[in-house]
Chains A and B, each alone.
Chain A
């Protein structure tokens, strides 16, 4: 037999009811033999589950595992946000194309080689399929995403750098950010300027390069 309290009995057994509901349920239990019996059964299910334990596999699986892993050593330290590197690659490609002045004439897909420093021990070369550029807004957004990801990666390990190194990197980043802001401002007044577009792209690329180098340095030290 069940009643309106039955559905709350698991929560009661697990100690998840608030004090008021718990008190009301306990008052009900005092007068309902059926719910008391159900509560006891649920408690026994929980106890039984907790005591089930683990059993070793009947077959020794290690041989098959060893065969599989021997052929493939662990992939060491690809810990620096894979997405970020992919994003960086895409943004760097777009920025590079902008700087080359032929970005918008390319309709076909190209392949780009990007060196991604995954750790001090491991340099990963990623072959990335580069999508066709879809517009300046995408380019700038991709650059910003990539720069933000790199900045986070850099910030995570910046304490490994000596203060002098840190100061030089930060001064350079500030100078580049200022140049980007000024160029961006000038472009708003003269959006058709090829020179300003190319300069902006080149400056964005400088920032990505600097950040990437900074991350390489901090990765090598962490």
Chain B
């Protein structure tokens, strides 16, 4: 399950989302119920509360240029499926899981559209062999974006979103051991970009 995160506002200030988590969940409950009955304004409030997390995750998993489309897609699908939300988990958890599924399916389309056939091992090697980020002009975030998709998703879901390996394995359809070993490889790569 994802953990409470920090939100970076447009002004760049940090807000602890955990401080208002309970309030947000309560607002979600009433707004989601209203939205499910067709209240667009209630759904806009839901969007405002969750857009930053969904969009930031889209940037990390798909890249900046796909993130806007993916975010729109997530919220349109969420609207269409509000009737399926049973309240068994927090709405944010349900929405994020839906978002991950949307992003994973879009990833394939993006790869085909860009005809991206870069070999993962080659990509990892190029990141691993770089002496330091200044030469490459890569900072920590950019290094994440350069990771092969599978490794990047595991890193985003585990280290940024706080999902456990068994949850990630289920989402991505891989073995837990693969999730663990890939995460370790990613971290070994990214440690070189820490100072950037």
- Which positions in A face B, CB cutoff 8 Å? 7, 9-11, 16, 38, 41-42, 44-46, 48-57, 59, 61-62, 64-66, 68-70, 72-79, 119
Contacts and interface: CB of A to CB of B under 8 A. Distances in A.
A65 B79 CA distance: 10
Contact of B44 (A11, A45, A66, A78): A66
Interface of B: 5-10, 14, 35-38, 40, 43-44, 47-48, 51-53, 55-57, 59, 67-68, 71-72, 75-76, 79-84, 86, 140-141, 155, 159-160, 162, 180-181, 183-184, 187-188, 190-191, 194
Contacts of B180: 10-11, 16
A62 to B, nearest CB: 6
Given A7-B181, A55-B56, A56-B52, 5 more contacts: A52-B6, A56-B55, A61-B72, A62-B44, A74-B80
Contact of A41 (B57, B84, B194): B194
Contact of A54 (B6, B44, B80): B6
Shortest beta-carbon contacts, A-B, top 4: A49-B159, A53-B6, A41-B191, A10-B184
B95 to A, nearest CB: 13
B8 A65 contact: no
A76 B80 CA distance: 8
28 contacts: A11-B180, A38-B188, A41-B191, A41-B194, A42-B187, A46-B159, A48-B194, A53-B14, A53-B56, A54-B7, A54-B52, A54-B55, A55-B8, A55-B56, A56-B51, A57-B51, A62-B44, A65-B76, A65-B79, A70-B40, A74-B36, A74-B37, A74-B81, A74-B83, A76-B37, A76-B83, A78-B84, A79-B83
A74 B55 contact: no
A48 B140 CA distance: 9
A111 to B, nearest CB: 25
B83 A77 contact: yes
B6 A51 contact: yes
Contacts of A54: 5-8, 52-53, 55-57
A78 B55 CA distance: 28
Contacts of A52: 6, 56, 141, 160
B147 to A, nearest CB: 12
Contacts of A68: 72, 76
A6 to B, nearest CB: 8
B195 to A, nearest CB: 10
A121 B83 CA distance: 11
Contact of A42 (B86, B141, B162, B191): B191
A122 to B, nearest CB: 8
A188 B2 CA distance: 57
A61 to B, nearest CB: 5
